[in-house]
Structure 1
């Protein structure tokens, strides 16, 4: 029975880690082929931008798979209080795209080492979570970081589409852009929306 439990734990860990690796790559791919300005420029009213999303998720991973389990990242990190205030969601003039991407890649290695080293029930403590939920374990943190990465990869999908129309999770799944088909689809969605609005009480 104990061996069966370990097998289930390893399956769960491998599955979650595989999904995290997939979505890390999807997020990073959204920078490919863009000019420097387009990776950085604010694309929403709150300033959301592609390079800032990568920087933010890198910091999230570094903290959650680092200090939460007593395995601090070797990288210098902003204070977690500043991270919560969203000061890591954009790149300053002094930060390079290559530097931020390299930091994210090194963070992957550190995070993966933590995931490899610990069982799913390994205890951790998240100082920026309110008690009593601040006491957690690797399984909860792994699912949290995965959901955070997926969420921001989704943001990046929309931002990239607004820049040059490119969509998709990976380069190998990308389809040529058919502007006429897109325009027709958008018109159909708009027509349905207007029709529904006209009959809604």
Structure 2
């Protein structure tokens, strides 16, 4: 049974709706752009719209792995921390959006199937409290926050490119 065939209510429906809304804002922000526009740095920041799509995809993918298997699963794949914020010469916006959609579908499936109370110790990092654990629920709230924050960044970058606004 697919997610669309299930009737979800309550907390799981709320989590799916909130994450979906912010993903939608981010995808809307890049609508109609060329690859060159998606790769352009239009502000003082190193960020570009394609890079933000790439970053959010990677972040969501890694946290999905964490929800299933903890920090070890999350950290089991190498990450290009520098390259994830920019489009490589062979990246296209269409390909980045397709990978984002695949990642989103996987996360959505996890939201409907995982026990939201299961917790895993966080990876060791200076920005996490030592010894802290996050539940699947808390991890999803983090992914929602990350997506919303980067959708806001994307809106500013897009407005700098051609004046278009996600919400205006």
The TM tier, using the shorter chain, reads: 0.7 to 0.9
Distance 1:162 1:78, change over 3 A: farther
Cα deviation, 1:129-166, whole Å, max 9, x if unaligned, reads 44312x21111101100000000000011111111111
Instruction: Give the CA deviation at 1:168.
Output: 2.7
What secondary structure does 2:84 align onto? coil
What secondary structure does 1:124 align onto? strand
Cα deviation, 1:16-46, whole Å, max 9, x if unaligned, reads 2201101101101111111221110112333
Which structure has more relative contact order (CA 8 Å, sep 6+)? It is 2
Aligned match of 2:150: 152
Superposed CA RMSD in Å reads 2.2
In 2, Cα distance between equivalents of 1:103 and 1:69: 20
Aligned match of 1:126: 122
Distance 1:165 1:128, change over 3 A: farther
Q: Provide the TM-score with structure 1 as the length reference.
A: 0.69
Instruction: Give the CA deviation at 1:67.
Output: 3.6
1:115 to 108, 111, 118: 111
Instruction: Give the CA deviation at 1:87.
Output: 3.0
Aligned match of 2:166: 168
Matches within 5 A, 1:53-68: 53-68=52-67
In 1, Cα distance between equivalents of 2:18 and 2:51: 22
In 2, Cα distance between equivalents of 1:58 and 1:66: 12
Gaps of 5+ in 2: 1-8
Task: Select the structure of larger CA radius of gyration.
Answer: 1
In 1, Cα distance between equivalents of 2:51 and 2:124: 21
| Number of residue pairs the alignment of both structures matches | 154
Aligned match of 1:100: 96
In 2, Cα distance between equivalents of 1:30 and 1:43: 14
Aligned match of 1:41: 40
Cα deviation, 1:173-195, whole Å, max 9, x if unaligned, reads x5xxxxxxxxxxxxxxxxxxxxx
Instruction: Give the CA deviation at 1:128.
Output: 4.9
What secondary structure does 2:33 align onto? coil
